[in-house]
Amino acid sequence: MLAVLHEQVKQWKQPIVGTFAVGKNAPFKVLVSTVLSLRTKDKTTEEASHRLFEAADTPYAMLKLTTHQIEKLVFPVGFYRTKARNILGICKVLIEKFDGAVPSDLETLLTFKGVGRKTANLVVTVGYGKPGICVDTHVHRISNRWGLVKTKMPDETEEVLREILPTRFWIEYNDLLVCFGQNLCQPVSPFCSRCPLRELCPRIGVTTSR
């Protein structure tokens, strides 16, 4: 199924956070853009991230901005005021405890305010290329539809996937399923009639489709 998706996703736009995983300060940009992406559409996240990074693309530069300046730069991302405060808080800790470098291990990243498992895993996998499984709403939903897991919450899904999914698939799993979930395997009425996996998918929990 993943082999099929490898070919399928070539026609779709890459998840936005991955576009910040190249060049200078990539882990920091992945961290901040992921914080901005929570409860926000990709297009809004992309535009807000570019505006913010034009003004400041390192923790040191970010701390020269006020909370209000960051709010204006990232608006209209969801919860932009809270995210602006969290970004400044993260930058302060990065400088005080890590000499401005973003940690590459999951447990340390989870100690930052505003950083949950999805964000931490994206930094580890996309920012550093280390093994990890990022589970967002698409990964959680599709893994259950496939019958690969039977879970109620994303954290549970991650735990099960870590046990059953070969490590070589961990990093790519999120990008493949996010693209698939945004374009075909949507939450309500997925496009099963034109899905390349329709013969393999048990469609667990799907009551209506197109």
Q: Which residues are identified as catalytic?
A: 118, 136
Q: How many residues does the chain have?
A: 210
| 58 burial level (CB within 10 Å; 0-12, 13-18, 19+) | middle
Q: Which residue has the tokens 């580890």?
A: 124
What are the residues whose beta carbons fall under 8 Å from the beta carbon of 158, sequence distance 6 or more?
117, 121, 133, 135
Rounded distance, CA 65 to CA 110, Å? 24
What are the residues whose beta carbons fall under 8 Å from the beta carbon of 91, sequence distance 6 or more?
59, 60, 62, 63
